[in-house]
Amino acid sequence: MTQPGEPAVRAAGLVKHFDGSDDTVEAVRGVDLEIQTGEIFGFLGRNGAGKSTTVHMLTTLLSITSGTAEVAGIDVTRDPDAVRQRIGVALQEAGLDPRQTGRELLTLHGRLFGLGRAEAAARTQELLELVELEEAADRVTKGYSGGMQRRLDLAAALVHEPEVLFLDEPTTGLDPVSRLTVWEEVRRINRHGTTVFLTTQYLEEADQLCDRLAIIDDGVIVREGTPAALKAELSQRRDGAEITLDDVFLDATGRSRDRAAGEVQEVGA
């Protein structure tokens, strides 16, 4: 297990190309990252900026065109199974098996991560309580609301107590109450020592939750630092003007507020 102060995620020159029938799309064009153990790290960008592609490479779901990546101290390409054992993943859409109950799904995940039958059942109960889904535990997930599905997805990602948790836009499409619940869960998970890598389009979410963040635009990182430091740097360049994270985002991506409308949203909980 990585120790505090050691990088939980390290990427150098990460590149991903997708070969189409006519051309090659360069989705990620040389991303360098270093996320310390115990951090909540935010990865911001508009749709198509390369956030999810980066997460998919770091979580072994996509091959890496070039560059290197280590998660929990393990090379993603050389030993993907060892990485999978140490990470939890909740992707953009809460991908749940619609024909299983919440309890069955969590128990299955426990078994697949190598827990014994009794251990998986106990862990399932613990997680159902954690995400407050005990009452709905024996209903098939198809009938869950969006918020319930997100919470179950989060619980499924935690079943094996991962060292690093990847959350790809965990609150997209959620109502304000569900969003706050997810935020609280993320903080609670992080307090237990889990490093959190979070992608989001919501600037306030990044401001509220993240220790540090990076802004990615057209496949390259254009800003990186703590929210306070990023705002202070821009404020200094603008003669002490009051700066929000969306000002930082717009400055970093070279977009005006008009152009960015609909790409990155300023949504409060």
Q: Closest CB to another protein among 69 and 245?
A: 69
Q: Closest CB to another protein among 100 and 235?
A: 100
Q: Closest CB to another protein among 77 and 244?
A: 77
Closest distance to another protein from the beta carbon of 136 (Å): 17
Closest distance to another protein from the beta carbon of 3 (Å): 22
Q: Closest CB to another protein among 14 and 250?
A: 14
Name the residues that contact another protein, by CB under 8 A.
59-63, 81-82, 84-85, 87, 89, 91-100, 104, 108-109, 111-114, 140, 156
Closest distance to another protein from the beta carbon of 56 (Å): 8
Whole-angstrom distance, CA of residue 100 vs CA of residue 116: 20
Closest distance to another protein from the beta carbon of 159 (Å): 10
